[in-house]
Chain A
Amino acid sequence: MSERSIFEPELLDRCISCGFCLPACPTYGLTGVEASSPRGRINLMRALQEGTLPDDDPTALEESSFCLGCRACEPVCPAGVRYGELLETWRDHSWKGRRRSPMLRLLLWSTAQTWRVRLMGLRRHARRRLGTGPSLMLGCFERALFPSVSRAAAALVPGASISSHQGCCGALHAHNGERERGRRLAVQLGYDLPGTILTTSGGCAAHLGSVLGGDRVFELSEWLGEHPPAVTPSRPRLRVAVQDSCHLRNGMGIWREARTLLAEVAEVVELPSASACCGAAGTYALLRPRDSRRILDAKLDEIRAADVDYVVTLNPGCLRQLQSGLRRRRLRTRAIHLAEVLS
């Protein structure tokens, strides 16, 4: 069997198989099986590259989907393996045609065109505004599910421009086997929103930044860290915990900012698993609801023990995931986006 060129050899070679990623990986934590760890998955990718495993190997396909794509393996990797890129390439190669579920195909279709995204925001669409500051990205599903987040962000950044003519950033596509379309959508959004782009979603920030460059793209807490808003402390003083956005923390190294901002208005409690994936993982919660809940369950136990007023998220997917989990458990804690707490 011959070597193929699915992956860039340098990216695969960088893994020295030390196994430091194992304890950081949520799915390895669930199964304890090497194939569900980043090192094991890289060995599966190597086997595909070498041709020792066929493209339709059921374990390889399952593992490419079971992986949350949270990239918690990246900050702990001493060799600097770019796992996120490898995973995108893997899905791009392996998830062709019918290997995608109807649900995933619907999600990708509905966000692939600007008009379809605009449609989602029609009911409660954001007021247009021309400012001198950054352009506020409204998101795709966020537009339909959490329009209040964008309104709160707009209040925190008075100079921000808001335009309704904007589509999806393409993160959804890049993470689900459509790398090229994901890249094109990001370029399109960069064209529709000239200058600096501000987003309330950590996942979108990481993807958009990787295409347009980090100097053009800011996530809200990153922006507010440099441009602190005027805030008033809550009274009585609220107790809040942060749920990090995986790609924001693991991909962009941003996590301190939200805590600093929140400390101005509330008491910040650190959950032991604050930096670990909540199981939302983009489309994961919709595509693999059972696994997504298993990942979330341990976190809900921690939230119950901490008994905070709010869990603060930096990404709409995490917000939805925590809201539904907290409701299911009937906990008094509420999930909320950072923008809403601060404004």
Chain B
Amino acid sequence: MTLTTSLRDRLAAVVGPEHVRDDPGTLEAYARDATPLHRGAADAVCFPADTAQVQRVVKIARAERIPLVVRGAGTNLCGATVPQLGGIVLVMTRMARLIELDPGNMSAVVQPGMVTATLAEEAAAHGLLYPPDPGSRTTSTIGGNVGTCAGGLRGLKYGVTRDYVLGCEAVLGTGEVLRYGGKVVKNVAGFDLARLLCGSEGTLAILTELTLRLVPAPLASGVGLAYFSRLKEAGAAVSRVLASGILPATLEFLDSTCLRTVEEFAGIGLRADAGALLVFGQDGTPEVVAADLERIAVACRAEGAIEARVARDETEATALLEARRAALPSLSRLAPLTILEDATVPRSRLAEMVERIEEIAVRHGLLIGTFGHAGDGNLHPTCVVDPAHPGVVERVETAFSEIFDAALELGGTITGEHGVGLAKRAHLESQLGRAQIELLRRIKLAFDPDGILNPGKLAS
């Protein structure tokens, strides 16, 4: 499909000629997002400035029956913004305004292109916190976060993006503008459309405005660490901590492969010989933080931790969180191709799941390091390979297929926070079943009868 001059002109008439690009170089830059192995080829890239422009672009796409792929910063890890069927990539980064920050109602109204970290800073300036903190928060946009229902390190205590969307404005595939919810915490008038759109990956509507819930910023925060000789003990420690009535703000783990790799690369003084590292954090009043961190350390020792203590000072605290964040980049340096997944299980089955992943990795002769959010059972098994070796990509795919099956067997999900997109589309039915897939398609038809919004993704 190529973009006819008249269509290009029609898009230019809506957003202005300087905000439509169809040169091969620009199309190349929008052919991918942060997902490895997935690539598309758009016909045009379009940068709207307001809801009215989005509406008019949707109407053009509908009239021409061409795909419309909405995109923020393109940091998603499921191929949700790859234009694999061509069409128009609709980039929302020009719509990045903070419309209102309302401390009295503890809410913010933002345009979808606003960068997550920018909103967090704006909230912090008013003594408020926007809790969802996906790894890409310095780059990712709020619209993208809502589109994929992004998670992050604070999931256990604060929940994920869906817990903070109070309302939205969105353009449906028909071109109609939907306004739902607002600055109210309680609202049962009709279906919860904000929750439905959260995680819909641009397949139901184009988000053009979001009303988000904020919470009071905690006065203090702190972190601690615990090393275990086996990951199983770390898993047991997590259960013990939660059973003791503490809800930590952060509870992250690294397995032995990650520990070794991070230490080799970053050299921050981690015990590379340990079987697992648990990094825990708490926020609240200074007294609560100090008491909770100590109690978590005690719980870890009770489960056989080799070493468990509160970070000595700010420097060590920073280094610990750094170590967790360095897991992915450190692994990625071992080989040209890095594939990161996010299978998730009930937290009580975490250790079991890691053992299953290790067994699968050995059986397929692959190097898979696992790190992730121990508090919410969200694992990030990460496989590093050289795709130049014949058959290796197929082996990785088989291994991950088995990992997804294992997660489902243990009562979990194939994806906790990255999304389905293109990357996990083939596995979705094994989790949801035929009937639910059909229901999802009928819902999609109600929002987007002509199937122009991000076709071929998620359940469509």
Binding site for B on A (CB under 8 A): 9-10, 13-14, 16-20, 22-23, 32-35, 37, 40, 43-44, 47, 52-53, 57-60, 62-63, 76, 78-80
Interface membership of B59, Cβ < 8 A: no
**B-side contacts of A17, CB under 8 Å:** 32-36
Flag if A53 contacts B24 (CB, 8 Å): yes
Q: How many Å lie between the Cα of A40 and that of B27 in the bound state?
A: 10
Residue of A nearest to B25 (CB): A59
Smallest CB separation, A235 vs chain B (Å)? 36
Closest-by-CB residue of B relative to A41 is B29
**Contact, CB under 8 Å: B74 / A16:** no
Residue B391 interfacial (CB < 8 Å):
no
Given A17-B34, A19-B75, A78-B329, is A43 in contact with B29 using a C-beta cutoff of 8 Å? yes
Cα A80 to Cα B34 with chains together (Å): 16
User: Given A22-B73, A43-B31, are A32 and B93 neighbors across the interface (CB < 8 Å)?
Assistant: yes
Whether the Cβ atoms of A19 and B139 lie closer than 8 Å is yes
Given contacts A14-B333, A52-B28, contact A32 B47 (CB under 8 A): yes
Q: Could you write out 17 A-B pairs with CB less than 8 Å apart? A: A14-B333, A16-B34, A19-B74, A19-B139, A19-B140, A20-B136, A22-B73, A23-B138, A32-B47, A32-B93, A33-B45, A35-B25, A35-B26, A53-B24, A53-B25, A78-B325, A78-B326
Residue with the greatest number of chain B CB neighbours at <10 A, chosen from A9, A22, A23:
A22
Residues of B within 8 A of A47 (CB): 25, 28
Find chain B residues with CB under 8 A from A76 CB. Answer: 138
Contacts of A34 in B (CB 8 A): 26, 29-30, 74, 91
Contact yes or no, B338 A63, CB < 8 A: no
**Roughly how many angstroms separate A23 CA and B116 CA in the complex, as a whole number?**
12
Query: Which residues of chain B have a CB within 8 Å of any CB of chain A?
Result: 21, 23-26, 28-36, 45, 47, 73-75, 91, 93-94, 115, 117, 136, 138-140, 325-326, 328-329, 332-333, 336-338
Q: A59-B23, A79-B329, A79-B332 are in contact. Are A16 and B28 (CB under 8 A)?
A: no
Lowest 5 CB-CB distances: which A-B pairs, in order?
A59-B25, A78-B329, A13-B336, A40-B29, A35-B29
Residues in A whose Cβ lies below 8 Å from that of B30: 34
Distance of A102 from chain B, by nearest CB (Å)? 25
**Chain A residues with CB under 8 A of B337:** 13
Looking across the interface, which residue of chain A has its beta carbon closest to that of B76?
A19
Which residues in A have their C-beta under 8 angstroms from that of B117?
23
Query: Bound complex: CA of A53 vs CA of B115, how far in Å?
Result: 31
- Give, as a whole number of angstroms, the nearest-CB distance from A26 to chain B: 15
Instruction: With both chains docked as a complex, state the minimum distance between the C-beta of B50 and any C-beta of chain A, in angstroms.
Output: 15
Given contacts A53-B24, A58-B25, A59-B23, is CB(A19)–CB(B93) below 8 Å?
no
Contacting residue for B75 out of A18, A33, A59, A80, CB 8 A: A18
A25 CA / B140 CA spacing, docked (Å): 15
Q: Is the CB of B28 within 8 A of A44?
A: yes
In the bound complex, CA of A261 to CA of B24 (Å): 49
Apart from A35-B25, A59-B26: 8 A-B pairs, beta carbons within 8 A: A16-B34, A16-B332, A19-B74, A33-B45, A43-B28, A43-B29, A43-B31, A80-B329
Q: Which chain A residues lie closer than 8 Å to B32 at the CB level?
A: 17, 43
Bound Cα distance from A33 to B25, whole angstroms: 11
For A33, what are the chain B residues with a Cβ–Cβ distance below 8 Å? Answer: 21, 26, 29, 45, 47
Question: Measured between alpha carbons, how far is A19 from B337 in the docked complex, in Å?
Answer: 16
Task: Tell whether A59 pairs with B24 under 8 Å between CB atoms, given A16-B332, A19-B74, A78-B328.
Answer: yes
A23 to chain B: which residues have CB within 8 Å?
Answer: 115, 117, 138-139
Which of chain A's residues has its CB closest to B33's CB?
Answer: A17
Measured in the bound complex, the distance between the Cα atoms of B117 and A334 in whole Å is: 34
Report A315 CB to chain B, min CB distance, Å. Answer: 27
CB distance from B242 to the nearest CB of A (A): 30
Q: Pick the contact of A16: B26, B36, B115, B139 (CB < 8 A).
A: B36
Residues A79 and B333 in contact, CB atoms below 8 Å apart:
yes
Q: Give Cα distance in the complex from A58 to B73, angstroms.
A: 24
- For A18, list chain B residues within 8 Å (CB): 34, 75, 136, 139
The distance in angstroms between the C-alpha atoms of A16 and B77, with both chains bound, is: 11
Q: Separation in Å of the B135 CB from the closest CB of chain A?
A: 8
Q: Which residues on the A side are within 8 Å of B325 (C-beta)? A: 78
Whether A58 and B29, one on each chain, are in contact in the complex, defined by CB atoms closer than 8 angstroms, is no
Beta-carbon nearest neighbor of A47 in chain B: B28
Q: Which residues of A contact B328 (CB under 8 A)?
A: 16, 78
